[in-house]
Structure 1
Amino acid sequence: MSQLRRLFGFLRRYRGWLLLAALGVAVSAALGLVFPRIMGTLVDTALDDTDTASLDTIALVLLGVFFVQALFNYLRIYSLALVGEGVVADLRRAVFDRIVRLPVPFFDGRKTGEITSRLTSDVAVVQATVSTSVAQALFQGISMIGGIALLVLISPLLSLAVVVFLPVVIVGGAFFGRKLRRISTEFQDEVAKANAYADESIASIRVVKWFTAEKSAAGQYDRDIRSSYAIAIRRARWRAVFIPFITFVSFGTLALVLWVGGRQVLDGSLTAGDLVTFLLYTLIVAGAIGAFTGLYSQLQEALGASRRIFELLDEAPELAESDEPVVLADIEGSIRFEGVDFAYPGREVTVLRDIDFEVAPGEIVALVGPSGAGKSTLVQLIPRFYDPPVGRILIDDVDVREQSIESLRSAMAAVPQEVQLFSGTIAENLRIGEPDASDEELIAACEAANAHDFISGFPDGYATVVGERGIRLSGGQRQRVAIARALLADPSILILDEATSSLDAESEALVQAALERLMEGRTTVVIAHRLSTVRAADRLIVLAEGEVVEEGTHDELIAANGLYARLSERQLTA
């Protein structure tokens, strides 16, 4: 029930509208209870009075009741729509806000589709509960309690027949509800798995087509969907037993009321109008109980979905900061590694061992080494995407674990080999780190990055949509947009991760010229596989099997005739 309390905690912001909705529900339900009494009076009047004036009056009263009920139904529906949609929007915002603040290790062990499923299918299940189930529970609760009270007033003897089946419904609801909750959780997990595979396949559609893997991809998705379908059928089977069971008990009770009530009408202890009124109230109570069983099954499904949502919301955002994190007003850009060992969470293999080196402010340092040496891992420790279990990393002589993560990363920018662009416009991608940058600042950054000319050549210029992951731009164009994005951020520390290793000669020349402008006056750590990329570096650090094996300038390392000299002979293509 703690999940339910947390879920309805999102309602606090909409208390005013919720009160209006409750008023609409209460009045509408109360007027619904007036209808059977008027019908009973109408029957008795029709049987005992030949004057149609009374019938006319009762019919007009009935019409008035329906009209007022319609007005309060409008209030109920509109208010609940505002509350329900608002709560779901808040829930989606809260989930996404937590997702983007989660640390990098969280994403290493999870599929993208599984995470986005929390925002789509799970929230959709919760939406149905918040938007409609709350109102239905209140409406049916008033109808059931009011109906039972009026049943007792009309005929205590007949009321016993109605009350007898209540324990049967409650016990049955509890039993079936537990089953439905467990099965619904399984179903949502399978749907998340299928969504994750679909997301990966669509994102990598060119790989699928290059290897003619359409059939195998469709087959895998088909298997995942069949698995979720089988669980859905199992859930439908339990529902198919549950609902008819409740319906049978309800109508069986109605038959009992007709049998006992008919006898009372025949012996004169109950009027025909009272029997009709009692039957209508019995239908209202039975309908309310039947609705509660359906609401209970919906609630169990929502609890299954909300469990996964709240698991996500309960994840600790980012890595732990100190109680009073240091915010450096002006980062100069010195970097120091002191005895750093590192292994990825959940893996036993040590990726980095006893890393010790220092980078002075404004110095350009190139990391060189064979594939798998730990270069990319090392640079991910600088912005504190991970914390090393041994050793420490200092920026401007302050341990990164003592610094504010936001201020630390705001002083850095990266240009990776595989540039990641959003599917919006070029301008939107450029402003990702500087939302308030002016058009003039965008143009200046792009001119420095050798990107302005090709952007201006597009019909829509900076409003050109780049497509998902920037697919409408060439590799060199994406690189230059990324460089312009980094220039716009004006970082003190720059990370270049193999930034030119996948470009042709012409594109590399343009990118290299842009990088040289970007690196001016900034502390730069560059991962390189090409000799041309590292020649401009002030110092090279050579890694092998997670350890620093050489350090010095290009000429010094060539003269040393070590690993770097061998890699240089092969043009650093390893």
Structure 2
Amino acid sequence: MAQGGFGMRSFTKDNSVKGTKLKKGTTKRVLTYAAPYKWLLALFLFLIMLNAAIGALTPLILKTIIDTGITNGDIPYIVNFSLLAGGLAIASAFLTLGERWLSSKIGEGVIFDLQTQLFQHIQKMSLSFFSRTKTGALVQRINGDVTGAQAVFTQTLSSIFSNTLSVTFVLIAMFSMSWQLTLVALLLVPAFIIPARIVGPKLAKLMRESYDLKAEANQLSNERFNVAGAQLAKTYGTPESDAQQYSEQIRKVRDLSIKQTLTGSLMRVTIGTVSALSVAVVYGLGGVLAVRGTLTVGIVVALASYLNRLYAPITSLSNVQVDVLTAMVSFERVFEILDLEPSVKELPNAQPLTDYVKQNGGSITFDQVDFRYPTVKEVSLASLELMPGAERESEEPILKNVSFTIQPGHMTALVGPSGAGKSTLSQLLTRMYDPQQGEIRIGEFPLKNATLDSVRQTIGVVSQDAHMFHDTIANNLRYAKPDATPSEIEEALKEAYIWELISSLPEGIDTVIGDRGYRLSGGERQRLAIARLLLKAPAIVILDEATAHLDSESEHYIQEALKTALAGRTSLVIAHRLSTVREADQILVLEKGRILQTGTHEKLIQESGLYRELYHLQFE
């Protein structure tokens, strides 16, 4: 790898990692990611060694041309060695390209492996993980820390190897020509290292502050420019105030960037000046020695040529500890995520639930179920950076000794005040969480013994806030059934009472519906969610406030669509509007995590209790 020059990276080290102690086994674990690329790494290091040797050999050729060819007037000699120098320069260029290609292949390969592994692992995490974790911090682990981690196998490794070889080869060559001038050159090394050590941390601090301020500005932009944020800002906010806030943040970024540029320029000027002075010293002393006959002119020129090949690598090596620690700390932050254990796990001997439900029906049984949300320690989150405020969590139980049975093909409604545990109960059924006590069964099949994929296939959910991706209508529906044909999609949309609207759009099912489906009304999104459910065709359906906050017309269409969706299926319906659950085969009344009443609408309306109170509150 070509040497010389003092780039920004040589003096922008993040010294904040100094003093950091790596966890035991981190290095060994990091090396496992090198295993798939061991031969590429070996070739990479071999090319670096060849390039370092060429870099050390070139000044010797210049010395030979001057001392032998020019001094003796031997033109063929001059031409031959000049051609050799040119050939080595071309070879160095090809070697450098080879290094860059191998470095990119190894580095991007490590990034691919880590990001794929991280994404797959995060997908396995339970809902408790996502309900606490800051999305931005999690994305930073996947992107920023993974990129920092891959530097171990590319930048850091190549820098250590190439710089060590370069310094070794150069010092051997310089001492062999003139130990006096070599010692003078080494005495000037602190003049390069000290400025880098003083200015480097300041520059790194400015860069970190700049990144933080840019992140704040980006956060403001993201919050104001997504559909919900833009609507809120236009309804309640003052655009002038938002613009002023953004301007203040960007002004700080601007001022820091100016300081950063001046600090970097000061560093470059300082090192450039010291470098020029060192060349002047070598030419001055070397020239005197050459006049006295102690050295040849070629040696003086060669020694001057070696200076950049000496100082730049030494300056870089002086910060090698910070380089290594920075990359290794990034690996540890990645490992923190990979080491998290999902609180909902699939048992080693788990069996598919799908075939059992087809043969035996989809009855549901909750048997003395107790549940509270997992604490931080139970979720095993390693860093509070990902989940601020989680250390103040409550361990209050949400469900207490809940028992009931839903017969196959029947509809059971859950009603009760907010916070009673209705949605939590539905999340237990879909294994977003597992209960601390008791058992949930589908038929006689314990839910915890089922594979997670089969649970997802067996149970379909339509929630109050039907989430849609920024994609086409067809692709949003195919999320439930990837191989769905256009005719199947059309049939599902008809059964959801929304085909007439979709078919009237210029692009039909290929219409992009925007961020979270905001190009559609709430009722239209709900009907799309029902169409997605129908396309999935699950045996068990959960409706979690699916008709809440809708106008009468939208609710009418959705109720018609739900009749189709629920026909012949075991269903659990959570509703605040009691008008939507009158036809339920069974109504469970929850309050503070306990079932207070059970029965049909006609039975419960006659009883003195919470259900009758809620009913009269809504209708009278």
Q: What is the rounded CA distance, in whole Å, between the counterparts of 1:164 and 1:320 in structure 2?
A: 62
Conserved? CA contact 1:113–1:197, under 8 Å: no
Conserved? CA contact 1:113–1:193, under 8 Å: no
2:524 to 451, 455, 477: 477
Conserved? CA contact 2:70–2:78, under 8 Å: no
Partner residue, 1:276: 301
Partner residue, 1:433: 480
Assess, with a 3 A threshold, how the Cα gap between structure 1 residues 369 and 100 changes in structure 2: closer, same or farther. Answer: same
TM-score, normalised relative to structure 2: 0.80
* Alignment of 1:141 onto 2:164: yes
What SS does the corresponding residue of 1:415 show, helix, strand or coil? strand
Q: What is the rounded CA distance, in whole Å, between the counterparts of 1:520 and 1:86 in structure 2?
A: 50
Partner residue, 1:514: 561
Q: What is the rounded CA distance, in whole Å, between the counterparts of 1:397 and 1:531 in structure 2?
A: 31
Assess, with a 3 A threshold, how the Cα gap between structure 1 residues 121 and 232 changes in structure 2: closer, same or farther. Answer: farther
Conserved? CA contact 1:446–1:484, under 8 Å: yes
Q: Deviations over 1:404-439 (max 9, x none)?
A: 222222211100010001111111111113212222
Q: Deviations over 1:104-149 (max 9, x none)?
A: 1111112222222333444454566655454444433332222122
Q: CA deviation at 1:9?
A: 4.2
TM-score, normalised relative to structure 1: 0.86
Report which stretch shifted further, 348-357 or 236-245: 236-245
For this pair of structures, how many residues does the alignment match?
Answer: 573
* Alignment of 1:34 onto 2:52: no
Assess, with a 3 A threshold, how the Cα gap between structure 1 residues 198 and 372 changes in structure 2: closer, same or farther. Answer: farther
Partner residue, 1:81: 104
Report which stretch shifted further, 403-412 or 194-203: 194-203
Q: What is the rounded CA distance, in whole Å, between the counterparts of 2:205 and 2:344 in structure 1?
A: 33
Q: CA deviation at 1:71?
A: 2.3
Q: CA deviation at 1:258?
A: 5.0
Q: What is the rounded CA distance, in whole Å, between the counterparts of 2:94 and 2:178 in structure 1?
A: 32
Where does 1:76-225 land on structure 2 (aligned, <5 Å)? 76-126=99-149, 132-162=155-185, 199-203=222-226, 204-205=228-229, 206-212=231-237, 214=239
* Alignment of 1:352 onto 2:377: no
Partner residue, 2:494: 447
Where does 1:339-418 land on structure 2 (aligned, <5 Å)? 339-344=368-373, 345=375, 346-418=393-465
What SS does the corresponding residue of 1:413 show, helix, strand or coil? strand
Assess, with a 3 A threshold, how the Cα gap between structure 1 residues 122 and 516 changes in structure 2: closer, same or farther. Answer: same
Assess, with a 3 A threshold, how the Cα gap between structure 1 residues 179 and 51 changes in structure 2: closer, same or farther. Answer: closer
* Alignment of 1:314 onto 2:317: no
The Cα RMSD (Å) is 3.8
Q: CA deviation at 1:402?
A: 3.4
Conserved? CA contact 1:541–1:551, under 8 Å: yes
Q: Unpaired runs of 5+ in structure 2?
A: 1-21, 376-392
Assess, with a 3 A threshold, how the Cα gap between structure 1 residues 536 and 424 changes in structure 2: closer, same or farther. Answer: same
Q: What is the rounded CA distance, in whole Å, between the counterparts of 1:350 and 1:194 in structure 2?
A: 40
Q: CA deviation at 1:470?
A: 0.8
Assess, with a 3 A threshold, how the Cα gap between structure 1 residues 194 and 112 changes in structure 2: closer, same or farther. Answer: farther
Report which stretch shifted further, 302-311 or 457-466: 302-311
1:524 to 562, 571, 594: 571
Structure 1 residue identity aligned to 2:166: S
Partner residue, 1:289: 314
* Alignment of 1:54 onto 2:84: no
2:364 to 313, 329, 335: 335
Q: Deviations over 1:5-36 (max 9, x none)?
A: 65564444344544444444333332222211
Structure 2 residue identity aligned to 1:538: D
Assess, with a 3 A threshold, how the Cα gap between structure 1 residues 504 and 324 changes in structure 2: closer, same or farther. Answer: same
Conserved? CA contact 1:557–1:564, under 8 Å: yes
Structure 1 residue identity aligned to 2:548: S
Conserved? CA contact 1:162–1:253, under 8 Å: yes
Report which stretch shifted further, 204-213 or 502-511: 204-213
Q: CA deviation at 1:208?
A: 2.6
2:544 to 482, 485, 497: 497
Q: CA deviation at 1:160?
A: 3.9
Conserved? CA contact 1:366–1:526, under 8 Å: yes
Assess, with a 3 A threshold, how the Cα gap between structure 1 residues 161 and 225 changes in structure 2: closer, same or farther. Answer: same
Structure 2 residue identity aligned to 1:276: V
Structure 2 residue identity aligned to 1:37: L
Q: What is the rounded CA distance, in whole Å, between the counterparts of 2:94 and 2:141 in structure 1?
A: 37
Structure 2 residue identity aligned to 1:32: G
What SS does the corresponding residue of 2:480 show, helix, strand or coil? coil
Conserved? CA contact 1:85–1:131, under 8 Å: no
2:599 to 552, 555, 570: 552
Q: Deviations over 1:345-364 (max 9, x none)?
A: 33233322222222222221
Q: What is the rounded CA distance, in whole Å, between the counterparts of 2:221 and 2:404 in structure 1?
A: 44
Q: What is the rounded CA distance, in whole Å, between the counterparts of 1:493 and 1:193 in structure 2?
A: 44
Conserved? CA contact 1:101–1:318, under 8 Å: no
What SS does the corresponding residue of 1:541 show, helix, strand or coil? strand
What SS does the corresponding residue of 1:337 show, helix, strand or coil? strand
Where does 1:3-42 land on structure 2 (aligned, <5 Å)? 6=29, 9-42=32-65
Q: What is the rounded CA distance, in whole Å, between the counterparts of 1:87 and 1:6 in structure 2?
A: 13
Q: Unpaired runs of 5+ in structure 1?
A: none
Assess, with a 3 A threshold, how the Cα gap between structure 1 residues 174 and 384 changes in structure 2: closer, same or farther. Answer: farther
What SS does the corresponding residue of 1:330 show, helix, strand or coil? helix
Partner residue, 1:539: 586
What SS does the corresponding residue of 1:571 show, helix, strand or coil? helix
